[in-house]
Structure 1
Amino acid sequence: MTQTAAAVVCLCFAAGAHADIVSTAADGGEAATPADGKPAPAQAAAPMQTVRIKGSAASYDARRDDTASKIVVGSEEIQKYGDTSVNDVLKRLPGITIGGAAGRQGGEIRMRGLGAGYTQILINGERAPAGFSIDNLAPDVIERIEVLRAASAEFSTQSIAGTINIVLKKNVKLDQHVLKVSGAKGSKFSSPSASIQMSDKRDNMSYSLGANAWRYMYNRMTPSTETGTDAAGRPNVDRTATWQDQGRSDGMNLSPRINWTLAGGDTLTSQTFFNLNRFESNSHGRTTVNLAGDEGPNYDRIDNTFSSHNGYGRTDLNWVHKMAEGAKLDIKVGVAKNRNTGKSLQLGGNRDGSPNLYRTVESYSGETGFSTQGKYSTPLTFGTQPEGSDEAPTEHALALGWDAGVIDRDDTRVQRELPIAGSLPPDNNDEDFSARATRLAFYGQDEWNVTPQWSIYTGVRWEGLQTEIEGANLERVTQRSSVLSPLFQTLIKLPNKKDQLRLALTRTYKAPSTANLVPRRFTSANNSRLDPDRRGNPRLKPEVALGLDASFEHYWGDGGMLSASASIRRIEDYMHQGLVQEGDRWVSTMINDGRAETRGIELEVKFPLRVLMDNAPGIDLRASISRNWSEVDSVPGPDNRLDQQVPLSATLGVDYKSADGMLSTGSSLSFRNGGMARLSETQSAYNAVRRDLDVYALVKLDAQNSLRFAVSNLLAQDYTTESIYADARGTLNRASVADGEAQFRVTVERRF
């Protein structure tokens, strides 16, 4: 194959995985040695083919050496603070923020300040099912976290902001057993937990097992105020409310893995993950009307009892077949099952005794999924190294693959209200629907080492989605969409061997969720412009984005790194919540509405202190800052940010390790700016600044035992949010305050 033909193949099939290439003799055998052990007489050497090797596994750095931009966070960094939620790990990473108040569950994960489907979250390369909360994933079962700022063809390109791939434990350390017992306490919560990790090897089989269990108990009070004016600007709403919420969550993770080494070097791996979670809560809302003439809400007293159960299981079987000349076939099949049940009892009324509300809701949702992925990869080398020349032959790592799956979902919701004299008419309804989501993707990718200093990644992925929905009182919905994503990334290493440049061009998208497609209606007890009913829209189209990323990286000393990057995304068919009034009720539904654009810059630096000072203690420093801007064409400014984008975030950290390795300590400060964001012509939202200061200390008592101390959210700042509605008829503003609290955690760890 000619050099030109090779380049054409690369651009057609596009760029990807590193090839494991080794140098061999021309005949593929070993040099012979006589029986007496003396070297054989010199003979004419057979022609040898020289292949450039990138480096050993020990010196390989994915962030520095991969053409496709990637940050890899290992298990040591993940477990450093003894966190019990993966969200607490992610908030310390550059460019990643977690929504909501510190210490509260369910915070949204955001890259480039964007969440809500713009950031793709994967577990072992697969999207987590609906109803599974990622913060229920214990850090102890995670081997590494991969942060991909630019899309690659191997993963779904539903990643406008980027991809976070959480890889569960794979590596097996012989005869390793680790037991951890932890207790966490705050002023309004407590949380005991325990975990065990076991692994061993028997002949051609190795196994590992990780198990985690926890309980989370809380009792919180959240105050809020609601104010409004009429068309003339006169106050007509003034209310204060409190929401007391207490509850308990119990959960467990189980992750067994078995690996067999077969004849010829093939491997067969079974990996399974189970998650169980039970949640119970009692909440009480009380509203006081402070303004004469304010009619108040439908119910100024609401008591709610809620319970839910979630179970999720997935098992994968992965076969890796080694072929001639370094080629490899990697095939995986998996099945998954997810089940959610919920029950609630809602009692409402006014202090004068009427009207009253007695509402029960029972819900069930279940998902069954099947998926298969496959990849054929092969290293190719074109050209030979001329005698006496330093020029290396051209290397390629080609890969072709598929990704297919189907998910069947059943969803049932039954709402009943008792007819009570003087109350509003009962709102009884049965919601029952089933959905099937089918995806099929094909991709090709190639990583081409043009020279030792210049490599190119090209890739193309076609991904088709089809969603079918049917149910009682629903018209059948069938939605099909497909996206072709050409991808390009390049890495240029400058002659000084310390600096390098990266560039990426991508086409990515955001698909509407199944819940946003189902045209059923969820009713609100106190319906208003700030608390409307919600209904799906079966005519939604996916958002499609063109993206450009560029970065400069400087490496120095032992682990020192400075990075500066910039990015831009232009988005078509932007989706957002629209608000309409139907009769006397307000209804919110998702709509496509024009274009949006987002831009960002990011700076990151990390280095050990010894690169600046001789004989420095074992201190590592790190810092990052991210600034984001965005505009939505259909929303008037100012502050018409996309998805309430976080405009500014930063991290600052310091870690120390003693010379004997018996003491490790450090701290991390995470900052996330807030401010006002315009959501539509009539709606706005405000989020307060969030600052998280965490500290930890790890004391190794001996080779088997250690103690870990940590304090999270040491600043204990309160967190304020506001929802605002304004039109020609007046304004309405609701503000809520979540109390801050420091969280103290002690973990005992034993290896045996």
Structure 2
Amino acid sequence: MKPAIAIAVLSVCAVAQAEVERPKEAEMQKVEVKGSAAKYDARRDDTASKTVVSAEEIQKYGDTSVNDVLKRLPGITVGGAAGRPGGEIRMRGLGAGYTQILINGERAPAGFSIDSLAPDVIERIEVLRAASAEFSTQSIAGTINIVLKKALKSAQREVKFSQAKGSKSSSPSMSLQMSDKGVGTSYSLGANAWRFMSNRMTPTWETGADGDGVPKLSRASTWQDQGRGQGFNLSPRINWTLENGDTVTSQSFVNWNSFASNSHGRTTTAFGAGPDYDRTDNTYSNHNGFGRTDLNWVHKLGQGAKLDLKAAYSMARSSADSLQFAGSNGLPATLLRTVHGESQEQGWSTQGKYSLPYTFSTPAEGEPDATEHALSMGWDAGITDRDDSRVQRDADLPGSAPMNSDEGFSAKVTRLALYGQDEWNITPRWSIYTGVRWEGLETRADGGAIDAVQNRSSVFSPIMQTLFKLPNKKDQLRLAVTRTYKAPSTATLIPRKFSSINNSPTEPDRRGNPDLKPELALGLDASFEHYWGDGGLLSASASVRRIQNYTHQGLLYEDQRWISTSINDGRAETRGIELEAKFPVSALMDDAPKLDLRASVSRNWSRVDSVPGPDNRLDQQVPLSATLGVDYKTADGQVSTGSSFSFRNGGLARLSGTQGGYTSVRRDLDVYALWKLDQQNSLRVAVSNLLAQDYTTESLYSDANGSLNRRTVADGETQLRVTVEARF
């Protein structure tokens, strides 16, 4: 690992050194004029702490998935194996709903995969480590708000063609960005389309022992999967500026993708009992579509007041089909199962915000300075209707035990939130943000195969953040006290059952729990930030969260079947520290090349009271993560290059008194280079997952009668991506 990192970093430094030593025939003086907008830094100046990732940073490596962008950000980790879809996004090492993901300030619908969102349609990413009243407080770990493109440029056209290739996968893609301005009107359109193909082999080993530790089971399985998929994003936006200065904006987002696979599983038993089925052949396909459109009206009132109103409609549809064919001991197949599932979700929402800046009267001579306030209040309401069906049919083959089911339900989720907030500049160096938010959520569901469900909850969330800038104008302190929560999803509330083929404690059936309550958390965040030069930053932060009604996956044994279901189980606590540094080399030395360095490290701890230790961490929390990066740009700006290394520790985590899980360390090393061929055309080359490290996960079960261990290895893969970019 270390030699590869050193090679990547040294290659960037060598290019930079060569540029410094290259004789210059002529040097053109460049005058740069910066207005007040350029001096504004949301992270440095906003009282409510927020880190903003720009479009330039997002597109630097030519990624085709937003997950690959997020894994390089300080304090954020992405679960799963590198280069494989579906990784869970985590802040403070916590996933499973603790980290809130928003698109334009709103939660995505159930089933929407965030890694299908193309980075080219994103304007910026906002990372909020402490809650604010304006957004939902379903953010115990924090919030990541993905803002789709809004900035409009006159007569801009940009086309990108990309081809990514690895030893086991291939993925071509293309994107189009268009925008223009007229008198009182402007528009933009982003479009992305992609395909991917993969052919992977995933081995699994199962071992077991009796209560005395004597081995009684040893199995080895292989799972070969050939998959292909395609999809596209569309994000049109139109702005109108009215004669009175009001603005009306229509913004839409459409996402469609499909996937199909053929997979084959084979199991060999060295000793002990064999599985119910030692050979399985599966075909699977799904289609997913999601669209949302909103209309936003901003009306200016007197004395700087403003009214911001938005109405939105969204619809999501998905369907999935699978065919499972399984047998054992070389005999004819005894399982032929078809499953067809469909879901449709539509939602209506409305948001409104009234904001008013005001200043107390100018004080008399000798009295303290006047204080400024930015007051706002508003609402966020919505209704979501969901219809879901799942039909399972097993053929009545000799020796089989068919498990047929018709499971469907209709659900309605109603939410209402009211909030108020005030940012108070007490002095030029001291400001306080206070807010309060009330959120109510009601879920109703009914269906022929389930009992009626009614779950209602509400949370009152007071929030306080403060920023104090020290007299030296370089250092500042932050403090935040928040109350946040995690609401159970609709899927975890519906008490329908999903059956596994080879049922065991490590491969149980799944079932929802209609009696779940929201988890409530009281949080404290503190940080110190030091700024210097042009872009230099050193920061240190610490946080703690105390959680009530902690939810985890319980394991039951009913009717000769193992069943996993979510349960509330006591209290938990999580703590963490984070260190970050980024600066240009010019901040340390004169006549330095345009070299930017960045590094971060995050250490997390947690404890679940109801689970015996050690390793009784929250939701398999990532205990340690780190990033290291270097970027270089030539003096003429024609060549840019850089590398990024991200590290995520794993280890053992206990989920209950009998269950546990293990994940291996994950190391990602990415490099890129960008050549501006002329003013309109560029060539970008990137290599991701240069270390090609395998990723191991284990599922563990142990009680007085013995233990069972299931270990799976996802092999690593290096991928080369070439992107051609043209502007016209």
TM-score (norm 1): 0.92
**1:473: Cα distance to partner?**
2.4
Aligned match of 1:179: 159
Q: Could you tell me which amino acid in structure 2 is paired with residue 363 of structure 1?
A: G
2:644 counterpart of 1:668: yes
How far apart are the structure 1 equivalents of 2:461 and 2:149? 31
1:49-64 to 2 correspondences below 5 Å: 56-64=36-44
**What is the CA deviation profile of residues 5-64 of structure 1, one whole-angstrom value per residue up to 9, with x for unaligned ones?**
xxxxxxxxxxxxxxxxxxxxxxxxxxxxxxxxxxxxxxxxxxxxxxxxxx9211100000
2:54 counterpart of 1:74: yes
**1:101: Cα distance to partner?**
0.4
Aligned match of 2:385: 408
How far apart are the structure 2 equivalents of 1:147 and 1:67? 14
2:369 counterpart of 1:398: no
1:132-151 to 2 correspondences below 5 Å: 132-151=112-131
2:444 counterpart of 1:468: yes
Aligned residue among 470, 476, 486 for 1:510? 486
Aligned match of 2:310: 332
Aligned match of 2:427: 451
How far apart are the structure 2 equivalents of 1:91 and 1:626? 13
Q: Could you tell me which amino acid in structure 1 is paired with residue 479 of structure 2?
A: L
Secondary structure, aligned partner of 2:36? coil
**1:352: Cα distance to partner?**
2.7
2:575 counterpart of 1:599: yes
**1:391: Cα distance to partner?**
5.4
**1:133: Cα distance to partner?**
0.2
1:553-564 to 2 correspondences below 5 Å: 553-564=529-540
How far apart are the structure 1 equivalents of 2:360 and 2:198? 63
How far apart are the structure 2 equivalents of 1:685 and 1:636? 14
1:137-536 to 2 correspondences below 5 Å: 137-291=117-271, 294-354=272-332, 356-386=334-364, 392-423=369-400, 425-536=401-512
Secondary structure, aligned partner of 2:491? helix
Shift in CA distance, 529/354, structure 1 to aligned 2, threshold 3 Å = farther
CA contact (8 A) 2:325 2:333 kept: no
Aligned match of 2:6: none
**1:201: Cα distance to partner?**
1.1
Aligned match of 2:658: 682
Aligned match of 2:13: none
**What is the CA deviation profile of residues 611-659 of structure 1, one whole-angstrom value per residue up to 9, with x for unaligned ones?**
1010000000000000000000000000000010000000000000111
Secondary structure, aligned partner of 1:325? helix
Aligned residue among 618, 623, 637 for 1:647? 623
Aligned match of 1:88: 68
Secondary structure, aligned partner of 1:290? strand
**1:341: Cα distance to partner?**
0.1
**1:474: Cα distance to partner?**
1.6
CA contact (8 A) 2:407 2:496 kept: yes
Once the two structures are overlaid, the 10-residue window that deviates more, 226-235 or 480-489, is: 226-235
CA contact (8 A) 1:233 1:730 kept: yes
CA contact (8 A) 1:726 1:732 kept: yes
Q: Could you tell me which amino acid in structure 1 is paired with residue 69 of structure 2?
A: V
How far apart are the structure 1 equivalents of 2:389 and 2:417? 30
Q: Could you tell me which amino acid in structure 2 is paired with residue 401 of structure 1?
A: G
Aligned match of 1:588: 564
How far apart are the structure 1 equivalents of 2:190 and 2:213? 61
How far apart are the structure 2 equivalents of 1:352 and 1:611? 70
TM-score (norm 2): 0.95
How far apart are the structure 1 equivalents of 2:708 and 2:317? 39
CA contact (8 A) 2:159 2:727 kept: yes
CA contact (8 A) 2:406 2:449 kept: no
Secondary structure, aligned partner of 1:420? coil
Secondary structure, aligned partner of 2:39? coil
Secondary structure, aligned partner of 2:43? helix
**1:383: Cα distance to partner?**
2.6
Aligned match of 1:19: none
**1:664: Cα distance to partner?**
0.4
**What is the CA deviation profile of residues 673-702 of structure 1, one whole-angstrom value per residue up to 9, with x for unaligned ones?**
000000110011000000000000000000
CA contact (8 A) 1:438 1:466 kept: yes
CA contact (8 A) 1:354 1:422 kept: no
Give the gaps of 5 or more residues in structure 1.
Answer: 1-54
Once the two structures are overlaid, the 10-residue window that deviates more, 494-503 or 230-239, is: 230-239
Aligned match of 1:21: none
**1:468: Cα distance to partner?**
0.1
Secondary structure, aligned partner of 1:170? coil
**1:596: Cα distance to partner?**
0.2
Aligned residue among 585, 601, 612 for 1:636? 612
**What is the CA deviation profile of residues 417-468 of structure 1, one whole-angstrom value per residue up to 9, with x for unaligned ones?**
0011122x10000001010011000000000000000000000000000000
Identity level (%): 73
Aligned match of 2:597: 621
Secondary structure, aligned partner of 1:265? coil
Q: Could you tell me which amino acid in structure 1 is paired with residue 340 of structure 2?
A: E
How far apart are the structure 1 equivalents of 2:116 and 2:492? 24
2:698 counterpart of 1:718: no
How far apart are the structure 1 equivalents of 2:40 and 2:705? 63
Q: How many equivalent pairs are there?
A: 694
1:2-151 to 2 correspondences below 5 Å: 56-151=36-131
Once the two structures are overlaid, the 10-residue window that deviates more, 227-236 or 455-464, is: 227-236
How far apart are the structure 1 equivalents of 2:553 and 2:254? 34
Q: Could you tell me which amino acid in structure 2 is paired with residue 422 of structure 1?
A: G
How far apart are the structure 2 equivalents of 1:240 and 1:478? 44
**1:392: Cα distance to partner?**
3.6
How far apart are the structure 1 equivalents of 2:510 and 2:716? 30
Aligned match of 2:22: none
**1:295: Cα distance to partner?**
2.2
**1:234: Cα distance to partner?**
1.9
How far apart are the structure 2 equivalents of 1:86 and 1:545? 28
Q: Could you tell me which amino acid in structure 2 is paired with residue 282 of structure 1?
A: N
How far apart are the structure 1 equivalents of 2:80 and 2:241? 46
**What is the CA deviation profile of residues 104-131 of structure 1, one whole-angstrom value per residue up to 9, with x for unaligned ones?**
0000000000010000000000001111
**1:233: Cα distance to partner?**
1.9
CA contact (8 A) 1:355 1:422 kept: no
Secondary structure, aligned partner of 2:37? coil
CA contact (8 A) 1:578 1:589 kept: yes
How far apart are the structure 1 equivalents of 2:145 and 2:421? 19
How far apart are the structure 2 equivalents of 1:638 and 1:243? 33
How far apart are the structure 2 equivalents of 1:473 and 1:746? 51
Aligned residue among 736, 742, 745 for 2:712? 736
How far apart are the structure 2 equivalents of 1:712 and 1:391? 56
The structure with more radius of gyration: 1
Aligned match of 1:36: none
How far apart are the structure 1 equivalents of 2:320 and 2:349? 27
Aligned match of 2:526: 550
Q: Could you tell me which amino acid in structure 2 is paired with residue 458 of structure 1?
A: T
**1:580: Cα distance to partner?**
0.9
How far apart are the structure 2 equivalents of 1:639 and 1:572? 19
**1:232: Cα distance to partner?**
2.5
How far apart are the structure 2 equivalents of 1:355 and 1:318? 58
Give the gaps of 5 or more residues in structure 2.
Answer: 1-34
